[in-house]
Structure 1
Amino acid sequence: MHLQHDWENLNVLHKNRLPARSTFFSYKNKQEALTYDRGDSQGFLLLNGNWKFDYANSPMESPSDFYQADYSTDHWADITVPSHWQLNGYGKPHYTNVQYPFPVEPPYIPSENPTGSYSRTFYVTKEALQGKVHLMFEGVDSSFHVWVNGYFTGYSQGSRLQSEFDITHFVREGENRISVRVYQWAESSYIEDQDMWWLSGIFRDVYIFSKPDVHICDLFLNGTLEPGYQDGRLNFEIALSGVYQDHSVEIEIQQEGTVVALHKQGAVEETVTGSIHLDQVKSWNAETPFLYDVVVTLLNPEGEVVEVIPHKCGFRTVEIKGGQLLVNGVAIMFKGVNRHDAHPDYGRAVPLRSMMEDLVLMKQHNINAIRTAHYPNDPRFYDLCDQFGFYVIDEADLECHGLTKIGQPHVLSNDPAWEHAYLDRMERLVERDKNHPSIIMWSLGNESGFGQNHVSMYEWAKRRDPSRLVHYEGETREILLEDHFIPTKDPVATDVHTSMYTPIEKLKVIGGLTYLNKPHILCEYAHAMGNGPGGFKEYWETFYAYDRLQGGFVWEWVDHGLRQFTEEGKEYLAYGGDFGETPHDGNFVIDGLVRPDREPSPALAEFKKVIEPVVTSDFNDMENTILVQNRFDFSDLSTLQCEWFIEADGQILAGGMVDVPAIPANTAKVVDLPIHLPTVVKVNTDYWLNLVWKTKEKTRWADSGHTVAWSQYELPISRFAQIETPYLGQLTVQDKASTTKIAGPAFELTFNKQNGRIEDFCFDGQLVMSKGPLLHFWRAPIDNDLLGSEEFNASSVTKRWKEFGVHAIQHRIIGTDVTISEDLQSVVIQCEAKLAPPVLAWGFHVAYLYTIHANGRIVVEIKGVKTGEGPQYLPRIGVEMVVEDTYDYVQWYGLGPNEAYSDSRQASKMSIWSSTVDHLHTPYVFPQENGNRHQTKWASFTEESGKGLFISGSTFDFTASYYTVEQLEAAKHTCDLFKQPYITLHVDQQQYGLGSASCGQEVQEQYRLENKNFEFTFSMLPYDENSHSPIALSKKFISVIDKAKNVSKSEII
């Protein structure tokens, strides 16, 4: 006979838990109430801090009577609440994405069920005991029993939801004791299978508070707009507890401290309902998140204040019309992200300051929407979203993705025995968060198949709160699978079509379907794992091209790495498998736009650029006009100022302000530019017009002068000319069977005929380059190369490349010819080679042509002719060189300052940039190809004395690193990387794009690098910066392509 414990009994979700309600605090008067400081509310006592803790491998092994008053916990360890016990040395963190880490036998869970017992004392004043005393847990993973002063208080589950208990009869004046037993696993774990670490314990706030005997036990404040979207209406529902007869409720609405409405109503029912009309209300939206103060006062029969409850309220309307989602009558664009609770030191016990940091970063990067993937967040998080201005999809704590591993994705969602558990999570979500204007959609959960239990959740949510929409991707997924990605019907249990990682071409088809009545959003797309994603630009061009497509939510905001240290004290960020746990899903948890320490990745800058709210086009260089498009949904451009400046050679030549009218949202206007072109145009110089849009005033999330958008145009005023080359001196050449040694007035080098490579390239007696250019086709695989998502028809390109031996290509030198010019001004070395991998016959027949001039300049021309049947695409085409480690100061003219690739380059602009080799490196948690600079015209590498190496070409990509490709590929963490005593320099004609194939779309066709014949030319020159700057050198060695370009046509970057 199986003993059914509370933690694996579907009939016992809770014991003694009070009904779910909205989050608010009770105060004695309005003055205290309007501080919104919960610490000043009635009887509030925060129980965070130091608790005593005991860890056991199972409930049976945990102390059975530890909650008794005479049980001593002095020998127990200390633990901080909130926290996870795995991050305090008990058990170990465990990461899985889909699969369950235990046998799949719902509702049963393993007998070895790690259990944490908590205990602490607290003190209650006599004043706090005048009415009701309640105990609140805001988050306990996964289920728990609680005792107060030895009395059983209750049981609850639902890790990311509040559990409230009435402890009035258990507490006493003075010292009290609370005891909690927490179980790592419960039957609820089957529906808490989200893509994240399994972490246990009391991880959110715990507190007690008091209420008068007659009190407000819940309130629902729904600020909406009347038809016409000008006037507002506050619908209220106030639930009372106790002997409320003859009491009354007063509702006051304040606008920035001024009372704009006052309503008083007698408490003749247990629930007081009504509405208040406001003329010309200031509406709430994510751009102008105006909040009113609603002060609810409960008065006794004598008219005396019993309690005062404050709440922020925003007036806004959410609806669907004409197949579009409208906020306040406007079709909005979701420029959103999925956000998990994640912190490198605290896991999901995220401090308030970290929540603030997230939201500030999001606003600074033009993000306007958040999906709380995949569970309700800390209640304070929604207060911040209301204030900062975000559209929120608030998601139920429900996912059973692991059932796909046994081929039964819908089994729990269709099982009536689980309906109560499903509904419980929806009810508690809605009741807790129903007063937040930022929440415009409820979500039924994530990746839980689809079934009748979802329908029940949807129907309950729409009955309880018809003012909001409901979201769930699972039903749309079923429709798309049934209809081969061309949906023939609207879903019934979600108010929007919503899908994940939908390829752009299929998204275009969906966007064009006019018979559907609901809008389409991507609840997940652009999987931001490692170096990537690529293709933001094309996604957003598609969103803007179709009315029914209304943006989406990038997966995801933050890497979930946990901070760890090697025995030598070197820091790294851990992911799945690093704690010895099995099964696990590796580094799939490292997939955010920001690193765990909130350092933005290059992808975040790319995302900011692509979703910027001001877009310019149609620059007319004859009339100095430009078309300015306002992509805000509500705001005109009066809050921004536009600066212009003309730049050449990294210097600003002229600048000023553009007089921009207050262009209304979602409209465009031609604007005059007061630009002044240079009166003197330097030869062989590019001139760039830059427009920068900045905030005029300080905001909650940025200082004045914060850049929100920018654009850049090349001005058609450049003049190109061949600069005469003076006498360079003569070369000396020692041509032998295996080597050719060449020396000029200030340089010398050796050409090794056996390997076809320049060696020991010296300038002024100082070694600059130990190994010269050699063709290189491999890159350290990025996550999007390594992983392939069969669900989205994306396979691992690394696997395909390795099957063809691209990583192992070898050189065979066929022959070398050396030709010396009669005037000894130059030497031409022609080297013929065959490049091919072992085992296979495909490869390239290659001709290297080196023209070496007396000043040390080397022009490198490489031609490759494809032979045999190789892979369809290549990782890169370029050369690898080894430069001395002291040449670590880098300047370049090209796109920057960010890392950039062909399908992720919108955030970079043309200028002269500088950095160090160290800072060119992007420290991805899982090391991989990084640091590429794209569309470069020249780059220089100098050491402290000014000696340098100058590289130029038409355009090229380059990376410079203290780590080799082999090191980056072999390393699993940043701590595995050790600097080499040299710089590995890659100069590439092109690299394969980034894409997001780790979970989603492969690299788009236009960004793939086809395996075909190629030609590639660049030059190298050693120099002394004390005599010639890189800019001066760039004028002398301008490329043939640059000289021939059409200078009458402007270009947009």
Structure 2
Amino acid sequence: MTVFHPAEYEDPRPWRGAESPRSWNVDSDAAKLSLNGDWRFHFSPSVIVAGDESFVEPKFDDQKWDTIPVPSHWVLQGDGKYGLPAYQNINYPFVVDPPHVPDENPTGDYRVTFDLPAGWDLGDGKSLVRFDGVESWAKVFVNGTELGYSTGSRLPVEFDATSVLKSKDNVLAVRVHQWSAATYLEDQDQWFMPGIFREVTLLHRPKDSVVDYFVHVSYDEKDGSATLKVDCDPSGRVTIPELSIDTATGAEVKIPKVSPWTAETPRLYDGTLTTAGEKVPLRVGFRSVRIEDSQIKVNGQRVLFKGVNRHEFQPESGRLVDRATMLKDVLLMKSHNVNAVRTSHYPPHPYFLSLCDEYGLWVIDECDLETHGFDFVGWEGNPVDSDDEGWISALLNRVGRMVERDKNHPSIIIWSMGNEAGVGKNIGKMADWVRSRDSSRPIHYEGDRSCKYTDMYSRMYAVQAEVDLIGQHKEVPLDDPELDAKRRQLPFILCEYAHAMGNGPGGLSEYQELFEKYPRCQGGFIWEWIDHGLPAIAADGTKYYKYGGDFGEQTHDSNFVCDGLLFPDRTPTPGLIEFKKVIEPVKISFEGGKVWIRNGRDFADLSDLAFAWRVEQNGKVIDQGQIEVPTIAAGETVAVELGVPTINGHGEAWLQVSANLKAKTVWADEGHELAWAQFLLSDKSDAINGVTAGAVQVVEGSKGYTVGAGTFDSKGQLVKFGDLDVSLARVDIWRAMTDNDVGPHCTPGTWNGKNWLAAGLDRVLYRVNSAAIEGGALVVKTVAAPAIYGRSLEAVYRWTSPDGEALRLDLHVTPRGDWSALALPRLGVRFGLPKGLSRVEWFGLGPGEAYADTHTAARVGQYALSIDEMQTPYVYPQENGSRAEVRWAEVTDESGQAGLRVEGHPDFALTARRWTSEELHAAKHTPDLVAGDNVWLNVDYGLNGIGTGSCGPGVLPKYLLAAKETDFGFTLRPFKK
């Protein structure tokens, strides 16, 4: 009888033959050799047909093998030859049967040949082969000798190759399996993309070089003093010339005065750690972190996290992110007022953490752990609650490697045990180990809602009303009185909130108000930083991005992987622009001729900012100047007298005050705007105030009616305005649904999209009951009704002309039937206009899109864009591009000679696009949107809010567009240049 033994890659133990984990110090003066480059590669789709194991031998002939760049993911190489990416949010891609995985286990065999550099002394110390990231299981050989194997995809591993290295013709061979027991610990919401995707380096570790070191600091906010102690194996000396420090390792040094490190003031002191065999550069930031008064305090001060969750992602290379792109991320965060990062859901490349140290970002460093797929089997067999020594050792190994690698980064102020891995007792064992190794940072883990093992209360997607209760320490009690009492005294953060998927997120301002109101509520982290679309080119050459299901996955979570504040090419979405405004660090108000300025920073004053004002009337600047502002300390408010000009003439006048950088910084240029506010100085008036409706009679002809420049058919349908043909000018209640309308993880009871489709709001039918001249107006009575149910909207159009040219519509809408459980997607009028129209100029909110609950970042002004520029290219097409509170808009051709003007009574929401809402709703990727024979103009009374229901709460009640009796109107005028 044949006995089958478990495959080695199904052993949950984390590694064999590896060196003990240590702090990252690749910038030391010890010799190193990068092994990145083109490697020989052989791919097998299954372990059953995996390549000849003799490939590890130096004499193996690999000339017929392919080459592949290292680092890289093999599924992003070879145009599908080596398999394809696969996206899952929660589900495992195979049966949940730990620690087993299928035989259909893609396997990559790698080989590279290298020589040692001149002067590399094999007799001095050790030579280590270091891998900074391999997914998910790797066995390593040098010159035919096995060094060991490793798991922990986003963690480093080092093997001692000293005894088998030669001066020349060394062969490093690696077998990598995509699936392993470790995959059960790496079920993060991301693409599955195997391979050696971070650097491979040969490191010389001379005799008496640094085995490991740990920089311990403290800071006393009362007197500005600090302490420093650097533990090191072996012993050596620490020098920091700026602080006149020259001391032995292991000795604590008291420093009478330092500038502390914070995310706002990231002060680093450069030094050197020297042992007999090596010099290691140090960048020391002095700060303290503690839990006190139900708050996370840094340097004695409560901090407010204005954060993002960041997966590592670059469209062309997956989780291989180059240093320039890491820096771009940091610069984008800083310039958009983001001050914190949660490294979801694994430690990032350590260079990113160095950037956080240098530029200033609070960091929650998260362990490479998620077992979310066990939710589908009732968490049975979850390794986080297992007594199996293999799983325990794997979990402790993961958290240990994170802490040891990253412990010397001042930006890291919280350790996180992982994400969505259940509530198992092994989380407690991990937390205990971390506390024993590093007591200077508190512990986070969202899955421990009881806070048995953690130092803070963390939640995902709690609705605003619940956050309000938590802020008051009035959350729903736990069954365990002791744990309940403990939790009520802990600080609260939303480690994930405001799911930034597609159009949205909405409701940010309401969250921020709670964070600023309650000291216990210390902010949160938007999910997430970037859309993870993979680049593709359509048949016509159009570039677009693919998502889950586009690679033939049997199971997938579609575009749920595209849920970021950045588009895949790192262009900010409207969501990031909104977030920047909501979390701006300076709050500005205007009252009694004074500008009131509040410093919302936690530490820094506002001496780095210049304040400017300007007055715009009817969208044109009529005066401007600078404001002399005294130094304002963190948390303080001052009032400054401001003389503004007397407003003459008609139209709206707005005062805008902005806070801008006085000088160039390492993260933004001089003049970069951090905060702003607008204030109305004159009455907001009807755009056609003073014009008498119905001053000109309606003319009835043999084929219809004429009202001013409007031509109507016999049923009262507008078919021409001036020289412009008009199609289907009628009441419209449908808009393409957003991700937030139809999200699979929406908070129960807030799923508008599901209700809309069930009610048939996407397939409304129309009936004209009458068209007749009444009291000098063309009055058209219609019914718009979805099929099946007894709901309808009766619409009465009253068309008049005040001057024989303009065409005014006064619309009265009355809902019939039961609409109590339904919000309307939109309510307004849609027009089909000639496709030759191409530009829009408007006065209202802009320049970007704005909806009921996402308009904080929009300013009242006069703007001009092409119709194509008005579209927001969400990876998954959906409702987008509406401009809110528009007073007037002109839609013209490129020459500006033909078109029309729309004037509000007093304002409206405006959308202009080259496809219908129905075509937009049906599209799956951006190339599906093809310009048609019309420009479709929506002039809306209102649109339903956006919310964040793709994962979390839907639209807040005050932003729902209720079906109620409504009066709405506007005036059309032929465009005159």
- Work out which of the residue numbers 446, 454, 461 in structure 2 matches 1:494: 454
Work out the percentage of aligned pairs sharing the same amino acid: 38
Contact 1:129 1:172 in 2 (8 A): no
What's the counterpart of residue 692 of structure 1?
A: 658
Distance in 1 (CA, whole Å) between partners of 2:826 and 2:515 is 31
Q: 1:546 to 1:724 in 2, by over 3 A?
A: closer
Contact 1:318 1:468 in 2 (8 A): yes
- Alpha-carbon offset, residue 294 of structure 1: 2.4
Contact 2:696 2:800 in 1 (8 A): no
TM-score by length of structure 1 reads: 0.88
Contact 1:251 1:262 in 2 (8 A): yes
Q: Is 1:431 equivalent to 2:399 in the alignment?
A: no
Distance in 2 (CA, whole Å) between partners of 1:459 and 1:742 is 81
Distance in 1 (CA, whole Å) between partners of 2:300 and 2:433 is 26
Equivalent residue pairs, number: 952
Write the letter of the residue equivalent to 1:472: Y
- Work out which of the residue numbers 804, 807, 812 in structure 2 matches 1:858: 807
1:581-980 aligned at under 5 Å gives the runs 581-617=553-589, 619-621=590-592, 624-673=593-642, 675-678=643-646, 681-683=648-650, 685-716=651-682, 733-736=699-702, 739-742=703-706, 747=709, 749-754=710-715, 756-763=716-723, 768-771=724-727, 773-789=729-745, 792-818=747-773, 828-853=777-802, 855-870=804-819, 871-943=821-893, 944-953=895-904, 954-980=906-932
What's the counterpart of residue 508 of structure 1?
A: 468
- Alpha-carbon offset, residue 762 of structure 1: 2.9
What's the counterpart of residue 944 of structure 2?
A: 992
Write the letter of the residue equivalent to 1:597: D
Could you list the runs of 4 or more consecutive aligned residues of structure 1 that deviate by over 6 angstroms after TM superposition?
Answer: 717-732
- Alpha-carbon offset, residue 408 of structure 1: 1.5
- Alpha-carbon offset, residue 1002 of structure 1: 1.1
Contact 1:788 1:795 in 2 (8 A): no
- Work out which of the residue numbers 957, 965, 968 in structure 2 matches 1:1013: 965
Distance in 1 (CA, whole Å) between partners of 2:45 and 2:675 is 55
What's the counterpart of residue 532 of structure 2?
A: 560
Distance in 2 (CA, whole Å) between partners of 1:20 and 1:1021 is 73
Equivalent residue of 1:638, what SS? coil
Write the letter of the residue equivalent to 1:503: V
Write the letter of the residue equivalent to 1:155: Y
Equivalent residue of 2:236, what SS? strand
What's the counterpart of residue 260 of structure 1?
A: 244
What's the counterpart of residue 146 of structure 1?
A: 140
Distance in 2 (CA, whole Å) between partners of 1:639 and 1:676 is 25
What's the counterpart of residue 73 of structure 2?
A: 84
Deviation sequence 1:460-482 (CA, Å, 0-9, x none): 00010001111000111xx3xxx
1:271-286 aligned at under 5 Å gives the runs 273-286=250-263
Q: 1:1006 to 1:606 in 2, by over 3 A?
A: same
Distance in 2 (CA, whole Å) between partners of 1:843 and 1:188 is 56
Contact 2:614 2:623 in 1 (8 A): yes
Q: 1:722 to 1:906 in 2, by over 3 A?
A: closer
What's the counterpart of residue 239 of structure 1?
A: 233
- Alpha-carbon offset, residue 15 of structure 1: 1.5
What's the counterpart of residue 480 of structure 2?
A: none
Distance in 2 (CA, whole Å) between partners of 1:693 and 1:186 is 53
Q: 1:169 to 1:877 in 2, by over 3 A?
A: same
Distance in 2 (CA, whole Å) between partners of 1:273 and 1:1000 is 49
Contact 2:707 2:807 in 1 (8 A): no
Contact 1:901 1:991 in 2 (8 A): yes
Equivalent residue of 1:363, what SS? helix
What's the counterpart of residue 574 of structure 1?
A: 546
Q: Is 1:475 equivalent to 2:454 in the alignment?
A: no
TM-score by length of structure 2 reads: 0.95
Q: Is 1:56 equivalent to 2:44 in the alignment?
A: yes
Distance in 1 (CA, whole Å) between partners of 2:172 and 2:383 is 35
Distance in 1 (CA, whole Å) between partners of 2:141 and 2:247 is 42
1:341-420 aligned at under 5 Å gives the runs 341-408=312-379, 411-417=382-388, 418-420=391-393
Deviation sequence 1:152-179 (CA, Å, 0-9, x none): 1221000000001111111111232111
Distance in 2 (CA, whole Å) between partners of 1:703 and 1:548 is 35
Write the letter of the residue equivalent to 1:81: V
- Alpha-carbon offset, residue 126 of structure 1: 4.2
- Alpha-carbon offset, residue 839 of structure 1: 2.0
- Alpha-carbon offset, residue 760 of structure 1: 2.6
Contact 2:663 2:669 in 1 (8 A): yes
| Structure 1, 720-729 or 600-609: larger mean CA deviation | 720-729
Q: Is 1:295 equivalent to 2:272 in the alignment?
A: yes
- Alpha-carbon offset, residue 570 of structure 1: 2.2
Contact 1:124 1:173 in 2 (8 A): yes
Write the letter of the residue equivalent to 1:757: Q
- C-alpha RMSD of matched pairs (Å): 2.0
- Alpha-carbon offset, residue 731 of structure 1: 7.8
Contact 1:26 1:308 in 2 (8 A): no
Distance in 2 (CA, whole Å) between partners of 1:947 and 1:420 is 73
- Alpha-carbon offset, residue 946 of structure 1: 2.3
- Work out which of the residue numbers 3, 6, 9 in structure 1 matches 2:8: 6
- Alpha-carbon offset, residue 347 of structure 1: 0.7
- Alpha-carbon offset, residue 793 of structure 1: 2.1
- Alpha-carbon offset, residue 719 of structure 1: 9.0
Contact 1:769 1:881 in 2 (8 A): no
| Structure 1, 563-572 or 897-906: larger mean CA deviation | 563-572
Distance in 2 (CA, whole Å) between partners of 1:231 and 1:682 is 61
Contact 2:208 2:278 in 1 (8 A): no
- Alpha-carbon offset, residue 721 of structure 1: 11
Write the letter of the residue equivalent to 1:947: A
- Alpha-carbon offset, residue 230 of structure 1: 0.7
Write the letter of the residue equivalent to 1:658: I
Distance in 1 (CA, whole Å) between partners of 2:725 and 2:805 is 13
- Alpha-carbon offset, residue 313 of structure 1: 1.2
- Work out which of the residue numbers 286, 308, 311 in structure 1 matches 2:282: 311
Write the letter of the residue equivalent to 2:620: Q
| Structure 1, 84-93 or 55-64: larger mean CA deviation | 55-64
- Work out which of the residue numbers 418, 421, 429 in structure 2 matches 1:456: 429
Contact 2:595 2:641 in 1 (8 A): yes
- Alpha-carbon offset, residue 226 of structure 1: 3.5
| Structure 1, 143-152 or 393-402: larger mean CA deviation | 143-152
Structure 2 residue runs of 5 or longer lacking an equivalent are: 475-484
- Alpha-carbon offset, residue 509 of structure 1: 0.6
- Alpha-carbon offset, residue 407 of structure 1: 1.2
Write the letter of the residue equivalent to 2:713: N
- Alpha-carbon offset, residue 129 of structure 1: 2.3
Distance in 2 (CA, whole Å) between partners of 1:213 and 1:620 is 70
Distance in 1 (CA, whole Å) between partners of 2:701 and 2:539 is 53
- Alpha-carbon offset, residue 753 of structure 1: 3.2
Write the letter of the residue equivalent to 1:964: T
